[in-house]
Chain A
Amino acid sequence: MNINFERVIPFIPLMLSGVLMTLQLAALAALGGSILGFAFSLLGRKGSVFRPVIKAIVDFFRGTPLLIQLTFFHLGLPQITGWVPDVMVSALIVFSLNSGAYLSEVLRAGIESIDKGQIEAAHALGVENWDITWNIVVPQALRNVLPAIMNEFITLVKETSVVSVIGVTELMRRTQMTSSVTYRYFEPYLITMILYLVLNMILSFFGKKLERALSYD
């Protein structure tokens, strides 16, 4: 057995501050992804003129690996545009679009799950389309797909580790740094796994709470 945490302990503060960056990235990407996902699902509805464009965006971001999207955007595109974005900016743009693509499909399923009769009843009462969407369709759709949305957020937290390839110094990158300085792998990666796990346990705890708050059973 060759386990020695003592060599790694001095690096724990470094790793923990990586957690902050991971959280920041995940939170901003979740926000961006939610806004985009929402916009995509509404604009991409049947009969919308934007549908083909939205569908192409969704297909692209779901159909190609995130790692490649990120590398292509941050390192590939500057060859053409000449603009080299900040690593965080690249990461946020790619993550928002990527999770937006997934979330839009989840939300679309939620919107389609709403019983048409309720929408019809609201129309019969003379309620405007806007009020029907926001007060009848969206609250019920969100509630129906909340577990799937939480899934997407949990995936997002884990996938932020991918940005280590373009040099964002989040948790994963700092773990790699720790390993390369200490020549230890087992200990830093074990700690990092536990840190991701704790983050996601906290996230799913609040997800469950929200689910209960929104339920009317």
Chain B
Amino acid sequence: MISLLNVSKSFGDTVVLKNVTIEFEPEKTYAIIGSSGAGKSTLLRCINLMEVPTTGSVIIDSVDLVKDRKQLNRVREKIGMVFQNFNLFAHMSALNNVTFALRKVKKMNEAEAKDVAVKYLTEVGLQHRLDNYPHQLSGGEKQRVAIARALAMKPIAMLFDEPTSALDPEMTQEVLKVIKNLNHIGMTNIIVTHEIKFAQEVADYIIFMNQAEILEVTETKTFFSAPKSERAKTFLANMI
């Protein structure tokens, strides 16, 4: 279970998150949408403390990560993250990108780690790319390796930070298809995206943000037919 309690974040004088409180239910998919600069990525990055909140608590499995920094790596192990720019380890093959944390964090031996990695790379359709280095992969393939790398850790939640923003439309579809097919038991998915149609298709809930605040957390169907906030109505109207 993941919850944020009164989380605020400022960079100098700029407030990027204003008193955000939200609870993420297990096994649900959340899409965070809103215009640029609304604080979507910052909210996501506060969940695994890639950004440390200025005030407030981030509670994952009953541990307040902001207070108990010693637990941070133990908890991060359980939260997968996928970045806009893939962030693959450039000097490692696709296979080793996935086995690295399995060996260093999960302390698996070479053979165990390889088995797990092959399984997840196969799941994202890259069984033929095991020995390729990131620079030999297309953008879509890179992002799929990144997804496999995160999934292999058997996380309780996956955070996607605009996973398709650096991809062309064709590759975007290939990555979205992979994300759509994730049905790992017990996993929560939290996705920051500009792909409104995709959000509508995969998300159970829409988190709508505007000017550093969450304006509403609404069931997807309801959000698209009858959003609660005026700002969301204009936002959706501008989409069409």
* Of listed A117, A124, A131, A217, residue having the most chain B CB within 10 A: A124
Contact (Cβ within 8 A) A127 B91: no
Q: How large is the interface on A (under 10, 10 to 19, 20 to 34, 35 or more residues)?
A: 20 to 34
Q: Which of A121, A124, A126, A128 contacts B89 (CB 8 A)?
A: A121
Interface-located stretch among B35-43, B78-86, B174-182: B78-86
* Of listed B75, B78, B101, B153, residue having the most chain A CB within 10 A: B101
Q: Which of B48, B86, B91 contacts A124 (CB 8 A)?
A: B48
Distance between Cα atoms of A136 and B149 in the complex (Å): 15
Task: Decide if the interface of chain A is mainly helix, strand, loop or mixed.
Answer: helix
Contact (Cβ within 8 A) B91 A120: no
Q: Does B185 contact A (CB under 8 A)?
A: no
Contact (Cβ within 8 A) B50 A124: yes
Given A117-B83, A217-B135: A125 touches B90 (CB 8 Å cut-off): no
Given A118-B88, A216-B133: A123 touches B83 (CB 8 Å cut-off): no
Contact (Cβ within 8 A) B87 A126: no
Q: Does B77 contact A (CB under 8 A)?
A: yes
Q: Per-residue 0/1 for A106-132: is the Cβ within 8 Å of any B Cβ (1 yes, 0 no)?
A: 000000000101101111111110010
Chain A residues with CB under 8 Å of B83's CB are 117, 120-121
Q: Does A140 contact B (CB under 8 A)?
A: yes
Distance to closest chain B CB from A137 (angstroms)? 10
Chain B residues with CB under 8 Å of A85's CB are none
Question: Could you jot down 16 A-B contacts, CB within 8 Å?
Answer: A115-B87, A117-B83, A117-B85, A118-B89, A120-B87, A121-B88, A122-B101, A124-B79, A124-B81, A125-B153, A126-B74, A126-B105, A127-B105, A128-B105, A131-B104, A216-B91
Distance to closest chain B CB from A106 (angstroms)? 18
Chain A residues with CB under 8 Å of B90's CB are 115, 118, 140, 216
Q: Does A45 contact B (CB under 8 A)?
A: no
Chain A residues with CB under 8 Å of B77's CB are 125-126
Q: Does A167 contact B (CB under 8 A)?
A: no
Q: Does A2 contact B (CB under 8 A)?
A: no
Contact (Cβ within 8 A) A139 B149: no
Residue ranges of B at the interface with A (Cβ–Cβ < 8 Å): 48, 50, 73-81, 83, 85-91, 100-101, 104-105, 133, 135, 146, 149-150, 153
Chain B residues with CB under 8 Å of A216's CB are 90-91, 133, 135
Given A117-B83, A117-B85, A120-B83: A126 touches B101 (CB 8 Å cut-off): yes
Chain B residues with CB under 8 Å of A123's CB are 50, 76
Which residue of A is nearest B146, CB measured?
A121
Contact (Cβ within 8 A) B76 A124: yes
Chain B residues with CB under 8 Å of A79's CB are none
Distance between Cα atoms of A217 and B78 in the complex (Å): 33
Distance to closest chain B CB from A169 (angstroms)? 44
Chain A residues with CB under 8 Å of B91's CB are 139-140, 143, 216
Q: Does A4 contact B (CB under 8 A)?
A: no
Closest 4 CB pairs of A and B: A126-B77, A121-B87, A117-B87, A125-B101
Contact (Cβ within 8 A) B105 A125: yes
Q: Does A135 contact B (CB under 8 A)?
A: yes
Chain A residues with CB under 8 Å of B89's CB are 118, 121-122, 136
Contact (Cβ within 8 A) B73 A128: yes
Chain B residues with CB under 8 Å of A131's CB are 104
Which residue of B is nearest A217, CB measured?
B135
Distance between Cα atoms of A216 and B137 in the complex (Å): 13
Distance between Cα atoms of A127 and B135 in the complex (Å): 23
Chain A residues with CB under 8 Å of B76's CB are 123-126
Distance to closest chain A CB from B84 (angstroms)? 9
Contact (Cβ within 8 A) A127 B101: yes
Chain B residues with CB under 8 Å of A115's CB are 87, 90
Q: Per-residue 0/1 for A134-155: is the Cβ within 8 Å of any B Cβ (1 yes, 0 no)?
A: 0110011001000000000000
Interface residues of A in 81-125 (CB under 8 A from B): 115, 117-118, 120-125
